Amino acid sequence: MTTMPEIMSDTQLQGYTDEQKYQVFNKEFMPHIDSMYNFAFRLTMDEDDANDLVQDTYLKAFRFISSFEQGTNAKAWLFRILKNSFINDYRKKSKEPAKVDYQDVETTYNSDEAAETEHTTDLRFETVQDMIGDEVASALNSLPVDFRTVIILCDIEGFTYEEMAKILDIPIGTVRSRLHRARNLLKDKLKEYAASMGYNKNDE
């Protein structure tokens, strides 16, 4: 039932034997399962949904393995399938509270260049250094999913702009600008969080 033209159109079909399919699957795909799970969890914010999403993604990857060319970037290929599965199958039922419309946020940040520059300076790097992982994760989790996604791909998974463009099906320029806005939002969240925890009490 599921069609994946975006994957099929990218590469020439590979004529793997059944044995080769298992080999490719185990050698090229399975080593990325923890990164895939982490991505799924950060997208869905729910362990059960992350389990289902990873499983669905791997089964799709196996079904469409003939469109994967050995030696190419398996991790990016898998992340792309996972991202598409998330958008198509999970986003609707995601437990994310009060979804912020991405376009609204993007417009807000586009229209106010001054705010972009202003808020970059009043979060101190020492404040971030003092934070623990859970606090940084909370700030990340509070971002709208499109912004969260680019930060996960770039900063946590270390994908290049080019790889991110392929995974997300957007131009590199959009990757850069979305990352820029995502980071500004993240800094706002970190700053709010720091203020609420009293991290900035000596900054007056």
Partner 1 sequence: MEGRQTTTPKKESCDQQAKCLKRIQSILDGGATDEEKQYFKDHIEVCQPCIDMYHLEKCIKEALQGKVEKKCCPEKIAAAIQAEITK
Which residues contact partner 1 (rule: CB under 8 A)? 22, 25, 30, 33-38, 41-42, 50-51, 54-55, 58-59, 62, 113, 116-117, 120-121, 123-125, 128-129, 131-134, 136-137, 140, 151, 154-156, 158, 160-161, 176, 179-180, 183, 186-187, 190
Report, in Å, the least distance between residue 54 CB and partner 1: 6
d(CA 148, CA 144): 6
d(CA 57, CA 82): 5
Q: Which among 176, 169, 147 is positioned nearest to 80, based on CA atoms?
A: 169
| Paired tokens of 169 | 């099906």
d(CA 94, CA 6): 24
Residue among 4 and 131 whose Cβ is closer to partner 1: 131
Residue among 31 and 101 whose Cβ is closer to partner 1: 31
Report, in Å, the least distance between residue 40 CB and partner 1: 9
Report, in Å, the least distance between residue 152 CB and partner 1: 8
Using only C-alpha atoms, what is the Rg of the chain?
Answer: 19
